[in-house]
Every structure is written in structure tokens, then in C-alpha cells.
Amino acid sequence: DGGITQSPKYLFRKEGQNVTLSCEQNLNHDAMYWYRQDPGQGLRLIYYSQIVNDFQKGDIAEGYSVSREKKESFPLTVTSAQKNPTAFYLCASIAGGNTGELFFGEGSRLTVL
């Protein structure tokens, strides 16, 4: 079945370490997004990419980096510069443009020890 796969589901990191969260989709969608969700709150946009080899910063991009070398993949790196990285991270994609339905992965929960 088509969908979005995020891995790992749970990740623990020591302070000062970079970690990379994987997001793969087989929906043939052009645009992909990374959101951060903190407990009891909504989603905040980190980065988004509308086509391969192109991406834009969202509202809270500081301390994060992304790449979009393939249409199917949009990995997110949480760097040591991110001051408070403990959160739930959600990847999403959309077929075309930005006016339709977003499809989400199951999320990755990052905990910094």
C-alpha cells in the first residue's frame, strides 16, 4: 500500500549529538513537509520541499537541516544547535500544489537525555 514511512519511531539522543530522522513516501507526491509537535500543541512547520533539490525554511528551521535528493525521500537532521529538540516529529506529503490533503507518517519521537 502507498504511504509515508518514518523511522525510527523512538529515538534517544545525548546532548551535543546530531540525529537524522528518515521519511520515505511511495505516493509519488511532489511536496514533502516536516512538522514538530510539542505536548498538547499544534504542528509547527520546520522545512518543506516542493520539488527535488529544492527546499524552504518553515517557521522554526533553526537547528535543523534537510535534503531532497530523491522525490521519495526527505530526511531531517536535528543538529546540536537545536536548543530544545525533544518533541514529536511528523513528516507529510501532498500530491501537488498546496491546496489538497496532506498525508502523514506515524511520527518519530525524539528524546534528548
Amino acid occupying residue 27? L
Binding positions for other proteins, rule: CB under 8 A: 4, 6, 31, 33, 35, 40-45, 48, 50, 58-59, 88, 90, 92, 94, 98-107, 109
Least distance to other proteins, CB of residue 80, Å: 26
d(CA 87, CA 99): 27
Count the Cβ atoms, other than its own, within 10 Å of residue 102. 17
Nearest approach, Cβ of residue 35 and other proteins (Å): 8
Q: Are strands 108-112 and 10-13 parallel, antiparallel or unpaired?
A: parallel
* 50 versus 80: smaller Cβ distance to other proteins: 50
Question: Which residue lies nearer to other proteins by CB, 52 or 102?
Answer: 102
* Nearest approach, Cβ of residue 65 and other proteins (Å): 18
- For other proteins, the closer CB: 15 or 101: 101
Torsion over CA: 69, 71, 77, 83 (sign): positive
